[in-house]
Structure 1
Amino acid sequence: MFNHVSKEEKIRQLETENQMLRSKLASVVSQTAYVAMMSDIDLPTDTTTQSTTEVTDNE
């Protein structure tokens, strides 16, 4: 009758979606770098470092 999604299930769904998006992003970045290399194009480099933090149930 009602489509209730528990908090834990929603978190798992969002984590799965996040992992898929990160995978797609990594693939696109590598493909772009490959095309740039083959075309002899210098891409600007990102000098900022991004730190990723993962939240676990213990935190």
Structure 2
Amino acid sequence: MSKKKNDKNQKKRLNEASLKPNCLVSQDVQKRYQQELSRYQLQIKKKLELDSFKAA
């Protein structure tokens, strides 16, 4: 349950960060956003691989 809520919060933060113009976002925030984004994409990729493996 808390994992699902955590994912929602993460998505919300990513969406908020992507709405801001780059010039207003500090370098630190941009770096953290990129790290979260890549980690999130990696999670999705792993899940897709796992799902396709289960389906096969």
CA drift at 1:20: 0.6
- The percent of aligned pairs where both chains have the same amino acid is 11
Q: Which runs of 5+ in 1 are unaligned?
A: 37-59
Higher helix share: 2
Select the structure of larger CA radius of gyration: 1
Which residue of structure 2 lines up, in the alignment, with residue 6 of structure 1? 26
Q: Which has the higher contact order (CA 8 A, sep 6+)?
A: 2
CA drift at 1:23: 0.2
Q: Which runs of 5+ in 2 are unaligned?
A: 1-20
Which residue of structure 2 lines up, in the alignment, with residue 22 of structure 1? 42
The normalised TM-score by structure 2 is: 0.57
CA–CA distance in structure 1, aligned partners of residues 30 and 44 of structure 2: 21
> In angstroms, what is the RMSD of aligned CA positions?
1.6
